[in-house]
Amino acid sequence: MKKNNYQGGKNLQPTIYWTYFEDGPWRFLLAATDGGLCYTGSQNRDVEELEAWAAKRFKGSELVENAEKLALYVEQFKQYFNGERKVLDFSIHYEGTDFQKGIWHALQDIPFGETTTYSAIAQIIGNPKAVRAVGTAIGANPVMVVIPCHRVIGKNGTLTGFRGGLEMKEKLLELEFVNKK
């Protein structure tokens, strides 16, 4: 996957194009700007989730349903969910604090089919006492799956918080463990 290639200023009010990704049991919303994929929705949620997110992160942006604009993303997600792809290699566009961006960059280095812990991420960023802040930043990840926050688990090995729900997190990890070879 390509790391955030968009380095423009905040709140430039880009047009946000969106469509639903549907493949087998998977159904969630994908959204992108001209800078790249900017949002991955939660399993089986509707466009209201995107509207609420966009109102906070990209105030004043126009939301336009456009499956054609998201065809590349949809195709790579299909390949990922069908075990044909381990890396999603398209541009992503996200906005966040420098701390959040640092966490999201660290998450992108977690290998496919492997997990790490919140405390390990805090160590990686050089702030071992920031475990709760790391968890908060991970929870704000706008592009789940692409930035693999599902690969972060509790220190005791349990599945913990995930914007898409623990069932989605568990299914993503199972999919990766099965297709790790």
CATH number at residue 112: 1.10.10.10
* Of 106, 122, 138, 149, catalytic: 149
Domain annotation covers residue 136: yes
123 in a domain, yes or no? yes
Give me the chain's average pLDDT, please: 89
From 1-15, 16-30, 62-76, the region with the lowest mean pLDDT: 1-15
| Angle made by CA atoms 81, 82, 84, in degrees to the nearest 5 | 105
Residue 53 domain flag: no
Residue type, 117: T
Assign 4 a pLDDT band (cuts: 50, 70, 90).
very low
Q: Could you report the per-residue pLDDT of 108-120, keeping only the tens digit for each?
A: 999 999 999 999 9
Q: Token pair for residue 133?
A: 């802040």
Q: Where do runs of H (alpha helix) occur along the chain?
A: 47-57, 71-81, 98-107, 118-124, 131-139, 166-178
Is 127 among the domain residues? yes
Active site residue 149: yes
- Express each pLDDT in 25-41 by its tens digit: 999 999 999 999 999 99
- pLDDT greater than 90 at residue 142: yes
Token output for 25: 């049991």
Number of domains within the chain: 1
Domain carrying residue 111: 98-178
